[in-house]
A = this chain, B = another copy of it.
């Protein structure tokens, strides 16, 4: 598995507070916290900042999206090989804000593995999680859409979907990791996710919009223990 687990994956989305120089700054902070605490933290900055962030930190950098097109005459797309060349270590796939076709997911998983990139395939419910697990990604990350960006963590609002996803994915293959996300904000949410069997969490605004990112990250990391 290309990520050390349990892990905290911080998706910068396309927030201005985490774009350009702010992306480099937030990634550096995550890198510091990872070094200080030994926690496994992954960052997923805006696409234009991928290479510059990857060149400036030692924690794994992931893309937020990849297109299933070959490298070459595919202007304006982001290929598996472009991500690899940028220095990133993996990619989110099928994020709820950027869903893709099923045949694309399969092809991306196969090609990413071939070049040594990790894949975290995002899902919205148990049926889709089962389907994605059947395509053998490194991780399935379940995020109930109605809870994304909200104030209540999925681990509190719908702990059952976390446990059910863990069981469903494991029953397909013991080698696939499970992350959960939506509303995750603090160390307690992280601890609960692990307790439910997940290998980590995926979050965004909880870190990006925090008034004290260092304190928030330290709190989140405390939940990994």
Residues in A lying within 8 Å of B, measured CB to CB? 11, 13-16, 19-23, 46-52, 55, 63-65, 69, 71-79, 81-88, 92, 94-106, 109-110, 123-125, 127-128, 130-136, 148-149, 172, 204-205
B127 touches A82 (CB 8 A): no
Q: Which of B63, B82, B95, B131 contacts A106 (CB 8 A)?
A: B131
Q: Which residues of B contact A106 (CB under 8 A)?
A: 125, 127-128, 131
Q: How far is A94 from B19 in the complex, measured between Cα atoms in Å?
A: 23
| Protomer copies | 4
* Among B75, B86, B102, B125, contact of A64 (Cβ-Cβ < 8 Å): B75
Asked if B92 and A75 sit within 8 Å, CB to CB, the answer is yes
Knowing A48-B63, A106-B131 are in contact, say whether A19-B75 is a contact too (CB < 8 A). Answer: no
> Roughly how many angstroms separate A128 CA and B204 CA in the complex, as a whole number?
30
Give the docked Cα–Cα distance between A76 and B66 (Å): 8
- Compute how far the CA of A132 lies from the CA of B103 in the bound complex, rounded to whole angstroms: 10
Known contacts A22-B85, A85-B19, A99-B101: does B75 contact A14 (CB below 8 Å)? yes
Q: Which of B14, B64, B75, B92 contacts A13 (CB 8 A)?
A: B75
Q: What 3 A-B pairs are tightest by C-beta distance, nearest first?
A: A65-B76, A20-B85, A76-B98
Q: Are B85 and A103 in contact (CB under 8 A)?
A: no
CB distance from A87 to the nearest CB of B (A): 7
